[in-house]
Amino acid sequence: MTGARAATDPGTAPTGAAAPGPSDPLIEVLSPGDPRVPGAAHCVTGELLATRARAHPDRAYAVFEDGTTWTYAQMYEDALSTAVALGRLGVRQGDPVLSWLPNGRDALRVWFGANLLGAVYVPVNTAYRGSLLGHVLDNSGARVLVAHAQLVDRLAHTGGGALEEVVVLGGAPDGGLPSLPGAPRVLGAGALRAPAREFVAPARPVEPWDTMAVIYTSGTTGVSKGVLVSYVHHYSTVTALAADDITEHDRYLLNLPLFHGGGTEVAYCMLLFGGSVVVTHGFSTGEFWTSVREHEVTMCTLIGAMINFLVDVPPGPRDREHPLRAACVMPLTREALEFGRRFGVDVYTGFNMSETSAPLVTDLNPRSVGSCGRPRPGVQCRVVDEHGIDVPDGQVGELVLRADRPWSMFHGYHGMPEATAAAWRHGWFHTGDAVRRDRAGDFFFIDRLKDAIRRRGENISSVEVESELLDHPAVALAAVVAVPSEFAEDEILAAVSLRPGAELDPAEFLAGLRSRMAHFMVPRYLRILPDLPVTPTGKVRKEELRAEGVTPDTWDRASAGIEVTRDRID
């Protein structure tokens, strides 16, 4: 894996920084001096596993959906066993290991076992199939894949990448172990177990700036890119977002997938602070508070529509009878603030991407709806125009970033040098996100630059239009995309899914929008769908909606004879 191995090569750092040696003063920069956690100089997963297992062997690290508990000692033993087994399959330091598994014990032990060897954890989205799955196999260059039995058959519709070994967990696939493209050897679950006592540490010590993982982006604006994440990068993210006084007594609800940065950050965060996680397969409105109460969950992350679903549940006498004390919410909507007030939970938010390390964070219980917070210490944030020139406060531009701590942001897209160079320009990482900064210094997310719409000479934020759509009581989820206009520029297509039992009259719906938004922002087209295409983390796959465009079932207000004109001011 060229990109993963190159993480130890100082020439691959986009900033041009030289990799530090053991006595380099960079170690002073890496360590924040927080007595609660090891410094960033000791942020390597394998070292953390060993440290926690020795210090707190009987403390719970993970509680799973079947009610079983994984102590720190058991976790370390399982990780060592998995590391030995991976080594027998030929995995060496710097090699990529593909993990195609749902949340659970197996996903964690493959990650931890790979890192113990100094290998690179490469999780695969469990929704992937077809060309998207094939792209990840090809791009990763991995020889070894650990996959769930219910997913393995999808490999038949790919070229197989460079796979030589496929370990199948969770039972045998239907029809037995399949013959796969490229003829890799297909093995059962026993191939991932070996005596932990046979573990041999890698010849070269694993360093904080080595690549810990390759996290593939959700691909909402194009082909998925493999983000190279160092141990320092992950450390910097979780310590930045842990704005609350997190301790070893905290228990975090891990309901985001472990192939997503949000899931791996939660698991790593609790390992770092010596706390514990409750591992679930995903978010469920009906099971959320049950899990929180039964497992004494104190912290969680809620993104997108999760918050709306919880707020929509009718109030009850037990709304504040729970141990949950803090929630990281993204984005900071009116519903998020209402969630905090109603349930007595401290909320905070920030801005983050797989490539960054939480450059913007808020204090607890912020009041400005839509705020992403302010730059955290050690990060520089600017808002620039298309030429890289700073724009005045209040004006929309692209967010660009850089960090003082070396290796605390991604060090490239695996196998995509052109994309890496395009993202790192003039010494700054260009996020591709449109934001504005107010005079007080707060940053507000406006839109992905690629999702912005140009209509009638006006630049339109899809996020702002979506916010108005979601205010309607019948709408559960909404997305807005640009479609070609027969005149020039763009027209706006809105796609919505409805709450159970709800109905929506398109003409009445858009008439109501006219009273709340500028005339040029009112969508021309409306599609009402049973479900919108989403990523496992709840982001709408807008590229699918754009590709489908105006379909036969799309309602067109122009065809219906409804005009939306500019307000007349006499």
Judged against a pLDDT cut of 60, whether residue 10 lies above it is answered with: no
- Contact between 277 and 266 under an 8 Å Cβ cutoff? The reply is yes
At 459-515, the pLDDT tens digits run 677 877 888 898 899 999 999 998 988 765 788 999 999 999 999 999 999 888 877
Q: What percent of the chain has pLDDT over 90?
A: 64
> What backbone torsions phi and psi does residue 466 show, to the nearest 5 degrees?
-60, -35
pTM, whole model, 2 decimals?
0.80
| pLDDT at position 448 over 60 | yes
pLDDT at 171 over 90: no
Per DSSP, helices labelled H in 229-365 are 231-241, 261-273, 285-294, 305-312, 334-343
Is 248 or 305 the better-scoring residue by pLDDT?
Answer: 248
Residue 431 dihedral angles phi and psi, to the nearest 5°: -75, -25
Name the residue with higher pLDDT: 66 or 356: 356
Question: Is the model's pLDDT at 152 over the cut of 70?
Answer: yes
Average confidence (pLDDT) over 440-465? 80
- Residue 242: pLDDT band (50, 70, 90) is low
- Mean pLDDT on 231-243: 85
pLDDT, residue 567, reads: 55
Which of the two residues, 328 and 565, has the higher pLDDT score? 328
Q: Does residue 380 register a pLDDT over 80?
A: yes
Average pLDDT over residues 90-117: 97
Which residue segments constitute the domains of the chain, with CATH numbers given?
Answer: 2-13+27-57+68-230 (3.40.50.980), 261-407+425-448 (3.40.50.12780), 452-556 (3.30.300.30)
Using the predicted structure, report yes or no on whether residue 63 has a pLDDT greater than 80: yes
User: According to the model, what pLDDT value does residue 265 have?
Assistant: 94
Residue 537 predicted with pLDDT over 70:
no
63 and 276 Cβ atoms separated by less than 8 Å? yes
Tens-place pLDDT, residues 545-564: 988 999 999 999 988 888 87
User: Mean pLDDT lowest for which of 260-264, 271-275, 386-390, 461-465?
Assistant: 461-465
Token output for 19: 């990799």
Q: For the chain, what is the mean pLDDT?
A: 86
- pLDDT band of residue 438 (cuts 50, 70, 90) is very high
Q: Where on the phi/psi map is residue 546: left (φ > 0), alpha (ψ -120 to 50), or beta?
A: alpha
What's the average model confidence in pLDDT over 64-70? Answer: 92
Pick from 97, 162, 158: which is nearest to 132 by CA? 158
How far is residue 452's CA from residue 434's CA, in Å, rounded to a whole number?
9
First to last CA, the chain: 67
Split at pLDDT 50, 70, 90, the class of 183 is: confident
Do the Cβ atoms of 253 and 303 come closer than 8 Å?
no
Which pLDDT score is estimated for 67?
A: 87
What's the pLDDT tens digit per position in 298-351? 999 998 778 888 998 999 999 999 999 999 998 898 999 999 999 999 999 999
CB atoms within 10 A of CB 204: 11
Give 212 or 182, the one with higher predicted confidence. Answer: 212
> Does position 8 have pLDDT exceeding 60, yes or no?
no
* Cβ atoms 214, 119 nearer than 8 A: no
Lowest-confidence region among 119-123, 156-160, 184-188, 454-458: 454-458
Dist CA 570 CA 159 (whole Å)? 66
Q: What is the dihedral of CA 430, 436, 439, 440, to 10 degrees?
A: -80
